[in-house]
Amino acid sequence: MLVAPRCALRSSFKILGVVPAFIFVSSCSNEVVEWIDVPLSENTHYDVQPQYREDVVEIPLSANSDLEYMLDMGKGHSVAYQWEAIDLPDADSLLAEFHGHTIRTSDAPGDVMFYKQERSDASSGYLVAPFDGVHGWYFSNETDKDTKVLLSLSGFYEIPEGP
């Protein structure tokens, strides 16, 4: 059990002359606060510094066709996403599967995990990659009209080079 003094960081807003400013004040009391030291669990902290990035990707999706759009991600890396199908006549006519899989290096089967499956014209969320591999979306346009998916990303991932 850890015992530590109780400290707080407070802020207040003041006008100094004509310039508004925030003033931060730290104060500690002599009150003793007890803490239970919780062991670090697996897959919580990583000693790597991946490159943070943000991208907006326009994905063309032809009528009555499907495709996968994948990201390379290391275990523990994260991505926030939001996508929207543009000019889709019916939201139920687009099948979207958000999934990830390991990279196969032999004749042995790889691992695949489905994070979200839906029929929709938009979705958003956040993923912490459970394993090294590729993670992304399978889109199936079940209409007679071409559409495009506008995908906004931010986080720690790489976009693989073309086909």
**Amino acid 22: pLDDT:** 56
Question: How many CB atoms lie under 10 A from the CB of residue 35?
Answer: 9
Model confidence pLDDT, tens digit, residues 44-83 = 887 888 899 999 999 999 999 999 999 999 999 999 999 9
CB 135 within 8 A of CB 73: yes
Sequence ranges of the domains in the chain: 2-35, 53-155
User: Look-up: residue for tokens 């042995």?
Assistant: 108
Q: Going by CATH, does the domain composed of 53-155 fall within 2.60.120.680?
A: yes
44: its two tokens? 């919580």
pLDDT higher than 60, residue 17: no
Q: What is the mean pLDDT of residues 119-123?
A: 97
CB 90 within 8 A of CB 143: yes
Average of per-residue pLDDT values in the chain: 87
